[in-house]
Amino acid sequence: MALLVSENVKVAFHSIRSQALRTTLTIVIIALGLTVLVGILALMDIIKSSINSNFSNLGANTFTIRNRETTVRIGKGGKKPKKYRNITYEEAMKFKKDFNFPATVSVSTMASWSAKLAYGSKKSNPNIQVFGSDENYIAASGYELEDGRNFTEPEVISGAPLVIIGQEIKTTFFSNKESAVGKNIRIGSSKYTIVGVLKTKGSGMGFGGDKICVVPIQNARQYFSIPNATFTINVLCRTVPEMNIAIGEATGTMRQVRKVDLGDNDNFEITKSDNIANMLNDKIQEVGLVAIIIGFITLTGSAVGLMNIMLVSVTERTREIGIRKALGATSKTIQNQFLIESIVICLLGGFFGIFFGIIIGNILSLAVFDAGFYMPWHWVLGGTGMCIFVGIISGIIPARRAAKLDPIESLRYE
């Protein structure tokens, strides 16, 4: 059996070489279909991994209170997020004071999306995010200190000109062996003393990442122009089982702070740390489904083209089929020969498609998300299975037609 399959594979390659142009075009079409399919799906997996990694840093026991609904929209579709009136500094601090639950509460605000930093003659690009925060921000936001210390409560209250910088800022201005702690940098026109350096968190998907500066919240209110600023409240619970109880308590406390009347809907949004990740992953799955449909359409076109090539091949090789049958080849042998030839062509296209799909997916992931090499074995196996399926579907009709040819009539052909 193995010898027969091996012989059929050799015949298949001989036939491919004899019809090089037509076969190559079919292989290219199959390869393009699988390149799109595997490339996009591999990239989707990498994006999901990046999202989950970013949000897992926040921990499963954190939730956020903000003034707008958290939704994910792609294009013009989807529901617009509800937006409520801003959470004021006074409201955020009152919540922190009145929230009688054993949890860590942090109040923060975005001071600048595009700050420019300077240290001596070195300057950064104007793309640094500056947060104004209290002494609990680092813990509640999933960051850790690599060097230096956190703010103290008196420093936060007084608005001291201190800053904690992200890892990318440290690498931009200081050498590996040089400590950034104690150095003075400029944020805009103001001078700040670095008291801490955050551990690397990655910059995937734009969630804060390493291009970040944290200054005391009173300093942000004093020296950064934040018209109609809204404040965000992060709550870090001690354990995951306490989350639902804490959210219930937080809802009641925030309704009192915001003076929501009994029976009225909340005018704020509470979001668990993993909710956004789940929403993004759902949207990515929708994109992945579109990619699968596109890939299947391309492969369907390839299947039709391959079937046409195989039918032409049967006609052109009618005499060869007659000779094989005259020498003792059975109808089943002839059928298997053409079926294996169809599968071999599909597998050749599949090999190149999967190879280029993985390369393109990883190049994009490296360029956009700075992710390492990813090998989507499940898509490789799935793509190979699809190629075999397409080969069988495309080759079964021509193979049966070849098997049914009368050997005498075939020998008289031409």
pLDDT tens for each residue of 113-126: 888 999 988 898 88
The pLDDT tens digits of the residues spanning 140-179 come to 887 889 999 999 999 999 999 999 999 889 988 988 788 8
Structure tokens at 231: 């404040």
Among all chains, which residue has been given the structure tokens 């956004």?
276
CA diameter of the chain: 102
- Closest of 184, 195, 80, 105 to residue 145, by C-alpha: 195
Helix H or strand E segment including 271: strand 269-272
**Distances from the Cα of 9 to the Cα of 20, 52, 326, 389, 412, angstroms:** 16, 45, 21, 17, 27
The pLDDT tens digits of the residues spanning 371-400 come to 667 777 777 788 788 788 888 888 888 888
Angle between helices 377-403 and 331-369 (to 10 degrees): 150
Per-residue pLDDT averaged across 213-236, rounded? Answer: 88
pLDDT-based confidence at residue 213 (cuts at 50, 70, 90): very high
- Closest of 307, 277, 309, 298 to residue 357, by C-alpha: 298
Stretch among 25-39, 199-213, 338-352 having the lowest mean pLDDT: 199-213
pLDDT-based confidence at residue 333 (cuts at 50, 70, 90): confident
- Give the model's pLDDT for residue 72: 47
Angle between helices 275-316 and 318-326 (to 10 degrees): 80
